[in-house]
Structure 1
Amino acid sequence: MKNITIDFKVKTKIINRLLEKENIQKLKKRTFLDKLIFAKKEFADIYFHTGSINKEDIEKIENAKKIIVNSKKQKSELVKKQQIDENKVEIIYPSIDAEYKKPKEVKKEFCEEFNLDVKTKFVFFTAQNFKNSGSKEFINIVNNLNFKNLKAIIAGDKKEVSGLRFQLSKQNVDDRILFFTDYNDLNRLFLVADIFVLPTHTKAFAKNILKAMFFKCAVFVPSGCASSEIVDVFATMMMPSDGSTAFKIDALLGRKEDLKHIKEQNRITAQEFTIEKNLQKLELILQSV
């Protein structure tokens, strides 16, 4: 079995799993002594690249046998900026690693807890950075929805939620929105939700879209976000403030069979990105190194 070295900017669960293999090793960090004696700089066989490209990344990218990125957008940007062979860059989308439960049972319990009709439809938003992730756009979408039996769910840390509630204090939206601060079981909220909307301004892959699909939600995300690569055209927003989104959500909420079909298809799609499935894809790449 061939020994392979890897390097990365962010240590993910899938990288941890890779490092459990006997023939996979993290490239040793260059020491001060190495620099002092002008020891030859070594580079990993496989480099997992994320985020922007800095000077140190360029060397790693140029000298790696394979580069792993997490979206087509990132691959295109890398090939264009660094002018490297596109066959050297492989795409492995982020991995989903979560326990799935039947949404119907979770939703029933949730509705009983908050004294809501079990037939209530839920539209969900959560993110680490509310502003960049489109909290303002989400509120505008909710305000333009006409579906009657509806509740919006917004979850985030105390600072984000408090700031948003302060901004909305004059809009009297509390009767239509459930706010969750530092909620310790976000997976439960994904299971409760019918539709997850992330009108984000960021281009990076938003893993919450994948998580929502795994938990059987319909999703909406702008085309500028790399997560749009795994959703269908109907789920793609032209921009964070796409005026047609509220209309699409209303239409979907009013068509029970269509909503059910999209939820089921999204779960099937998301199951292709479990850690086990992504490890299988990585194994094929490792064999080519």
Structure 2
Amino acid sequence: MSKVAATQTGVQGGKAASARAFVTLVTNADYAMGAVALARSIGLSGSAADIVVLHTGAVVGADLAPLAALGCRLVEVDHLPLSDAFNQRHARGNLHAAAPFAKGRKPAFHSPLDNFCKLRLWQLTEYEACVFIDADALVLRNIDRLFDYPEFSAAPNVYESLGDFHRLNSGVFVARPSEATFAAMLDMLDQPEVFWRRTDQTFLETFFPDWHGLPVFMNMLQYVWFNLPELWDWKQIGVLHYQYEKPWEAGHPRSAELKPLIDLWQAFYEGEAIPDIASLAGPIAVANA
């Protein structure tokens, strides 16, 4: 029995209170911080859906306690049963050497192999529909309508040019849990010599070649702030995704450029002085101030 199945009926896992769930993944203390801000933002959106935090055994109880206090359903998961050769190819050093991140900087706590744990979402079969959101994101308004989107739906990976609309970003996606789908994923995932350049993102794009596009505002990547400022509209953004550098990192290389977004994340994390999102100044106005 997989860890995800074993804990769902335990004290930690609890029981589903809704047929729908927002799901995130926490694999270390840093992402636990991110999940706190995310969970608080979902709660403030007025959604009645469950908030499920998949977490690996590397996350200690003290880091999970704030999430439990926010009413999250905590579900411990194992890493996927992948071959040693697969794990070696996708280890941080090997993967980043073969497919370097040239557009931004991944923080030291990022472990590419952890990303595949997202696929455990398909084992949450007590839910009819799930919306996965990376723990380095915020929900800025009610996005419950996403539960009615088909599987598999994701927003494009747009943060540098509009030419990236053909690629998905797996930081937000809509799925229908199914053990059959999960088994098919495992069969496809670990083939001899296979290499998923962007881990789960490349895999999901391949597994669901006819993926349905969500509006870009449902996964607004933070680099849009300075790369495509004319695309930024606070009144439309449903999910703000802090890709690459994280808002809880002190003095990261983009911290000066992204200060308004970092300040917003800090407000949600602390649960204090959360501004009216629609009234915030956009990047063009900030630059001209």
Q: Structure 2-normalised TM-score?
A: 0.30
Rg: which structure is higher? Answer: 1
Higher relative contact order (CA 8 A, sep 6+): 2
Higher helix share: 1
